[in-house]
């Protein structure tokens, strides 16, 4: 259980909160590339960390992420005209470029230099693997974008989805670090391959390591005489859970990165990014896409009880609900918008969740005392992360680390 004040510290992410300030020091997903598919396309509203923003792609393809409300008198720039390398407000025609410079104030006298004195708040962006990442922190502290393994593979080998979550970001993130739930929530009665392995042993042993990127979470299940089924997941600062995805070792070939970005304190975006190391992604592998509507809302959601089918629950799977995405959403959203963790009863199976909270609490408290947050990349020579990996494999008994030598706690020296 978590005392109320610690729960508040971890779950509140507005501009004036410690966690909100901490999250703003990292690059985090703001929207998908497909939402602004081409130059001069319609702008979109972006909601993150309690801020109201608007994103647009200008005539040259550059992305702007601006405060949604016009610097003149606050009209929403979402309704604006995206034309000739700038976004123009429809109220009095003020026009902004991607950096927030005021290009034009046509309602002012010609000789006015008013526009030079004003700037629309704008945030830097990076477009990587189908996601537009943004940095919402202080300008002089902007870190490099991390060269994760998934940034290095061709676009055909990555896939990404996003969906709306009706709860605080931390509930989703905790689920990513909780290997225990695989044996129940995602159980199907005729499971094969890896799925059968994590259903056989429902009470795995856990080992957790603190690393330079966050936490490595290892769940070890028995897999027959002298064999273990080892699942390695990672919490990567600030909001990513990396998990192995697939039913066979061959299918896994990479991993998925699930990122939970607060919209406000009671809603979040879940971004699922996956990559294959050795081959293009097949469309049918992105099964979760079929669960998400064009507005990025889940088709199965709390209002229709996730279309739970009680016959399916008897005969086919543990939940009676289709797809892992909906399983996860049902259990985390049904806790309520911000779960009061002072009411819970944690067991041994919650070791990884406890470790995540302790780590986040220690990080945010140190940050409040002026310590620079961990895993901010500032040195181009140290921008490589071969030790971030997520694995699911059957290995001979003995300590798991001997089989995965690249899983070091700090990045290997270049």
Listing DSSP states for 32-66 in one string gives EGGGS-STTPPPEEEEETTEEEEEEE-TTS-EEEE
Cβ 324 to ligand FES, closest distance in Å? 44
Contact partner, 328, from Fe ion, ligand FES, none, Cβ < 5-8 Å per class:
Fe ion
Cβ 105 to ligand FES, closest distance in Å? 8
Q: Which stretch binds ligand FES (CB under 6 A): 38-46, 66-74, 119-127, 306-314?
A: 66-74
Cβ burial, residue 8 (10 Å; 0-12/13-18/19+): middle
CA distance 227 to 240: 30
Cβ 112 to ligand FES, closest distance in Å? 14
Tell which one of 91, 184, 318, 324 touches ligand FES (CB under 6 A). 91
Whose Cβ is closer to ligand FES: residue 72's or residue 351's?
72
Task: Report whether 265 contacts 338 (CB < 8 A).
Answer: yes
Cβ 88 to ligand FES, closest distance in Å? 8
Considering the rule CB under 6 A, would residue 145 count as an interface residue with ligand FES?
no
Number of other residues whose CB lies within 10 A of the CB of residue 83: 12
Tell which one of 94, 269, 359, 385 touches ligand FES (CB under 6 A). 94
Q: Which stretch binds ligand FES (CB under 6 A): 29-37, 68-76, 150-158, 192-200?
A: 68-76
Contact partner, 222, from Fe ion, ligand FES, none, Cβ < 5-8 Å per class:
none
DSSP 370: T
Tell which one of 15, 34, 73, 141 touches ligand FES (CB under 6 A). 73
Considering the rule CB under 6 A, would residue 297 count as an interface residue with ligand FES?
no
Whose Cβ is closer to ligand FES: residue 80's or residue 373's?
80
Contact partner, 119, from ligand FES, Fe ion, none, Cβ < 5-8 Å per class:
none
DSSP 3-state assignment of 206? strand
Considering the rule CB under 6 A, would residue 75 count as an interface residue with ligand FES?
yes
CA distance 22 to 143: 13
CA distance 225 to 280: 36
Contact partner, 89, from Fe ion, ligand FES, none, Cβ < 5-8 Å per class:
ligand FES
Cβ 285 to Fe ion, closest distance in Å? 17
Listing DSSP states for 145-173 in one string gives PP--GGGSS-GGGEEEEEEEESS-HHHHH
Considering the rule CB under 6 A, would residue 81 count as an interface residue with ligand FES?
no
Cβ 303 to Fe ion, closest distance in Å? 21
Considering the rule CB under 6 A, would residue 92 count as an interface residue with ligand FES?
yes
Number of other residues whose CB lies within 10 A of the CB of residue 309: 16
Cβ 171 to ligand FES, closest distance in Å? 38
Contact partner, 308, from ligand FES, Fe ion, none, Cβ < 5-8 Å per class:
none
Number of other residues whose CB lies within 10 A of the CB of residue 271: 24
Whose Cβ is closer to Fe ion: residue 120's or residue 319's?
319
Q: Which of 373, 386, 154, 169 is nearest to 276 (CA)?
A: 154
CA distance 270 to 348: 27
Longest CA–CA separation in the chain, Å: 84
Q: Find residue 95's DSSP bridge partners.
A: 88, 104
Site for ligand FES, rule CB under 6 A: 70, 72-73, 75, 89, 91-94
């Amino acid at each position: 259980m978590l005392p109320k004040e610690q729960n508040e510290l971890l779950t509140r992410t507005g501009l004036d909160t410690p966690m909100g300030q901490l999250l703003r020091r990292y690059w985090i997903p703001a929207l998908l590339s497909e939402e602004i598919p081409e130059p001069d396309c319609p702008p979109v509203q972006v909601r993150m960390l309690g801020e109201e923003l608007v994103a647009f792609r200008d005539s040259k393809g550059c992305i702007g992420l601006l405060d949604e409300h016009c610097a003149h008198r606050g009209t929403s720039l979402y309704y604006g005209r995206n034309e000739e390398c700038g976004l123009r407000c429809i109220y009095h025609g003020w026009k902004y470029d991607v950096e927030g410079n005021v290009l034009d104030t046509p309602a002012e006298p010609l000789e006015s230099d008013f526009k030079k004195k004003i700037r629309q708040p704008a945030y830097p962006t990076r477009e990587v693997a189908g996601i537009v990442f943004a940095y919402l922190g202080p300008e002089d502290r902007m870190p490099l974008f991390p060269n994760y393994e998934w940034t290095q593979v061709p676009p055909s080998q990555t896939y990404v989805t996003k969906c709306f979550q009706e709860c605080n970001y931390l509930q989703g993130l905790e689920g990513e670090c909780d290997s225990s739930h695989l044996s129940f929530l995602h159980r199907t009665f005729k499971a094969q391959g890896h799925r059968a392995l994590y259903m056989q042993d429902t009470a795995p042993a856990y080992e957790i390591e603190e690393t330079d990127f966050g936490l490595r979470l290892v769940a070890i299940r028995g897999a027959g005489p002298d064999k273990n089924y080892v699942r390695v997941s990672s919490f990567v600062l600030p909001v990513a859970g990396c998990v192995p995805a697939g039913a066979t070792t061959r299918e896994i070939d990479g991993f998925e990165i699930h990122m939970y970005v607060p919209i406000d304190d009671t809603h979040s975006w879940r971004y699922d990014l996956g990559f294959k190391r050795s081959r293009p992604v097949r469309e049918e592998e992105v099964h979760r896409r079929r669960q998400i509507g064009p507005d990025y809302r889940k088709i199965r959601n709390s209002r229709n009880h996730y279309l739970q089918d009680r016959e399916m629950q008897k005969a086919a799977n543990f939940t009676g609900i289709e797809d892992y995405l909906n399983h996860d959403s049902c259990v985390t959203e049904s806790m309520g918008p911000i779960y009061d963790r002072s009411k819970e009863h944690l067991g041994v199976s919650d070791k990884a969740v406890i470790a995540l909270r302790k780590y986040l609490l220690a990080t945010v408290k140190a940050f409040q005392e002026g310590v620079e947050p961990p895993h901010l990349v500032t040195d181009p020579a140290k921008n490589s992360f071969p030790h971030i990996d997520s694995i699911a494999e059957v290995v001979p008994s003995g300590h798991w680390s001997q089989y995965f030598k690249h899983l070091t706690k700090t990045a290997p020296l270049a």
